[in-house]
Chain A
Amino acid sequence: MFFAFAKRFFFLMSLALVLVFSVVAGGQGESEGVKGGTELELWTFQETHIEFYEQMAKLWNEEYPDRQIELVATAYPYDEMHNQLLVALQSGVGAPDIVDVEIARFPNYLKGVPQFAAMNDKVEPIMDELVKGRFEIYAKDGKYYGLPFHVGALVMYYNMDILNKAGVDPDTIETWDDYVEAGKKVKAATGKPMTTIEVTEQWSFWPLISQRGSDFVDENGKIILDNDINIDTLQFLYDMMHTYNIAIPTPGGFCHSEEYYGFMNNGGAASIAMPFWYMNRFTDYMPDLKGKILIRPCPRFTPTGHRSAGMGGTGTVVTNQADDIELAKDFLAFAKLSKEGNILLWKLLGFDPPRWSVWEDPALHEKNKFTDYYINGTKIFDEVLKVKDEIYPVHMSPAVPDIINVIQSEVMYQVLEDQSKTPREALVDAANQVRAMY
């Protein structure tokens, strides 16, 4: 009896092993390039990034036939990928050669001794053509580790259908005061809110404090979450919602939720201030707004204040567990720093590339799915060039992931939705809570 069972068990196990191996051998049908090239393993949390890397790998193999690579790129869910990477770097085994690390998690990997390869030799020679602030956020002790995907310039997306009904000309909106006045007109004429404000994420708050030169932490990593500028900015968001009645809480809580996409797609609100990379959310999730959205610089707080801010991002790194660190670095630099790479970042992903010297390149004014969607499609980069020098750098520190966490789960909700705390109370409480952990 037992032997019969054991035999059957053994058979099943063998069968399972055969199946597993056949799957592995079949591979993740992601690999491009040439058999016999050096294999580079790449992890990302964004499906769309894979296509970009694969196209760059093709170009690389054409350009450097004696250093062929075989790129194996896999997309994992956001959390899973960052957690796996953390464990792999902690234990010293299992990390890929190249990996995309999202900005909110990046400081976690800069704690202690960063397990990444420094990219200074690739970045420094062309620093004068790059938006430096976007490299600083992925740096520690003068070493640049991560290469960005974009500048993430803050812009305003206006729904011209609604603005025209209310007789509002977006070119007359210079300051946030003008914006509030326009919002009142829109509200009176159409009954619709001028904008929506996130209550469970940080994208309505962080860009606005950055416009005013403030941040969550200062350049030395000191927590300044509860400074006066931030309190005043949060008060402004509160006023838009509850005093002037021109804004509502974002349906679903944040503007990457299904509820928000549906709401906005049906012409729910007249505008939204989001970074440049939000463009592909419109094209992908709000198809009915095609031909109705105009992109303009964001309003400013003072007549000479900054109109933009650099928000969000992903730093791509080479880990110290890469088999051939030099090759991985060369390929990554080729993908993210070369002119053709930066042009592809726009064409394929709709990003404002970090190498701004390509912004005037004719290739960035050719038609594509983004230029077809927006009213001022082919002139979008003229808008970004206007505000290129109006972007303060964002400061990162080990406390930033924690700060983002309390902003998401406490501050915005308590002040804007629940109204259980004043902006000052909420920010002071949150800041002290984070300070206690560091």
Chain B
Amino acid sequence: MSFQEIVPGQVRFIGGTNYKRLLNPQFFTAVKNSLTYMFWTIVVLIPVPMILAVLLNSIPGKKSYLLRGMLFIPALMSVVVVGTIFRLLFASSDMALVNRFVGLFGGEPQAWLLAGSWKSMFLLVLIATWRWTGINIVYFLSGLQQIPHDLYESAEIDGAGPVQKLFRITIPLLKPTTVFVTAISIFGGLAMFEESYILWSAGSPDNSGLTIVRYIYRRGFEAADMGFGSAVGIALLFLVLLVSFTFLKITGFFKQERV
């Protein structure tokens, strides 16, 4: 499809023309936004759930289960509902909740959704944090279950404190889990669409919410240019492969595990 021009009632082979048209500023903006979003989601969504998982793991008994449940609830909510709620929380009027909160501290009401790049990215990462923290905690908790308990006991006998235990035992032994969670975050970050679509249904200010998948949607459906949309899709596939393989290479995923 990416080598064709597809219009109602006609399909033509046009060779690499769609790929030539890829080299335009909007596409580069989309790639840049997707990569930035991926970067920030990884920066936030790996350490925070890891720490929370370790804390949850150290709380004994029923309380821990209650907290786990609470942290997992956001993941069960529809992203459309959540996005809409966030859009209203951060609405531009001075009546909106966040702006009232800012006002309490003597700040000026902000037009959050119109504020362009950094605020847009902040909102997107905030929604991602809300949405994925619980899920990542579950991954890390299952990783923590794999760590044999006697390691901690022997470390304690040798006089290790909690911080030392965390850095010397927990984090190194969690590595497989961390690699896995990072890999799915890479894919999730690059494939993000819904959050941005809910926040800005038409145009996002200065294309700050334009991700690669949104660009596919914009060209393929909004501009009825399916062939070009497919070309963007193929480009996305290669980008995901490139980033994932580089990451897995760096972390030594392909090497034999040495015991």
Q: List residues of chain A with CB under 8 Å of any chain B CB.
A: 79, 82-83, 86, 89-90, 105, 108-109, 111-115, 199-201, 249, 251-254, 257-259, 262-263, 401-402, 405-410, 413-414, 417-418, 420, 433, 436-437
Q: Are B88 and A418 in contact (CB under 8 A)?
A: no
A111 to B88, CA, bound (A): 38
Residues on B with beta carbons closer than 8 Å to the beta carbon of A407: 203
- Best-surrounded residue of B10, B111, B200 (most CB of chain A within 10 A): B111
Residues on B with beta carbons closer than 8 Å to the beta carbon of A417: 114, 116, 205
Q: Are B8 and A89 in contact (CB under 8 A)?
A: yes
Report the count of interface residues on B (CB-CB < 8 A).
Answer: 35
Chain A residue at minimal CB-CB distance from B206: A413
**Residue contacts A-B, CB under 8 angstroms, 16 given:** A79-B201, A86-B8, A89-B8, A108-B223, A108-B224, A114-B9, A200-B202, A200-B203, A201-B203, A252-B93, A258-B88, A405-B222, A408-B203, A410-B206, A413-B205, A437-B24
A413 to B7, CA, bound (A): 31
State which of A90, A251, A405 has its C-beta within 8 Å of the C-beta of B6. Answer: A90
A201 to B7, CA, bound (A): 27
* B71 at interface by CB-CB < 8 Å: no
Q: Are A262 and B93 in contact (CB under 8 A)?
A: yes
A433 to B111, CA, bound (A): 28
* B151 at interface by CB-CB < 8 Å: no
Residues on B with beta carbons closer than 8 Å to the beta carbon of A111: 7-8, 224
* B177 at interface by CB-CB < 8 Å: no
**Minimal beta-carbon separation of B189 from chain A (angstroms):** 21
Q: Are A114 and B92 in contact (CB under 8 A)?
A: no
Contact with A along B177-220 (1 / 0, CB 8 A): 00000000000000000000000111111110010000000100
Q: Are B203 and A409 in contact (CB under 8 A)?
A: yes
**Minimal beta-carbon separation of B75 from chain A (angstroms):** 25
Given contacts A251-B92, A253-B205, A262-B95, contact A413 B114 (CB under 8 A): yes
Q: Are A201 and B202 in contact (CB under 8 A)?
A: yes
Contact with A along B51-93 (1 / 0, CB 8 A): 0000000000000000000000000000000000000100111
A249 to B224, CA, bound (A): 31
A252 to B10, CA, bound (A): 40
Chain B residue at minimal CB-CB distance from A107: B224
* B246 at interface by CB-CB < 8 Å: no
A408 to B218, CA, bound (A): 13
**Minimal beta-carbon separation of B20 from chain A (angstroms):** 10
* B226 at interface by CB-CB < 8 Å: yes
State which of B6, B25, B116, B223 has its C-beta within 8 Å of the C-beta of A402. Answer: B223
With A200-B200, A433-B24 known, 9 other A-B pairs at CB within 8 A are: A112-B10, A199-B205, A200-B203, A258-B91, A407-B203, A409-B203, A413-B206, A418-B206, A436-B21
**Minimal beta-carbon separation of B209 from chain A (angstroms):** 9
Q: Are B205 and A437 in contact (CB under 8 A)?
A: no
Chain A residue at minimal CB-CB distance from B91: A259
* B142 at interface by CB-CB < 8 Å: no
* B253 at interface by CB-CB < 8 Å: no
Q: Are B207 and A410 in contact (CB under 8 A)?
A: yes
A413 to B26, CA, bound (A): 16
Chain B residue at minimal CB-CB distance from A111: B7
**Minimal beta-carbon separation of A128 from chain B (angstroms):** 32
Q: Are A114 and B8 in contact (CB under 8 A)?
A: yes
Q: Are A200 and B205 in contact (CB under 8 A)?
A: yes
- Best-surrounded residue of A251, A263, A409 (most CB of chain B within 10 A): A409
State which of B9, B10, B204 has its C-beta within 8 Å of the C-beta of A409. Answer: B204
A420 to B218, CA, bound (A): 24
A135 to B248, CA, bound (A): 58
**Which 10 A-B pairs rank lowest in CB-CB distance, beginning with the nearest?**
A409-B203, A408-B203, A112-B7, A113-B9, A108-B224, A111-B7, A112-B10, A413-B205, A259-B93, A83-B221
* B113 at interface by CB-CB < 8 Å: yes
**Minimal beta-carbon separation of A422 from chain B (angstroms):** 15
**Minimal beta-carbon separation of B94 from chain A (angstroms):** 9
State which of B8, B25, B218, B224 has its C-beta within 8 Å of the C-beta of A405. Answer: B218
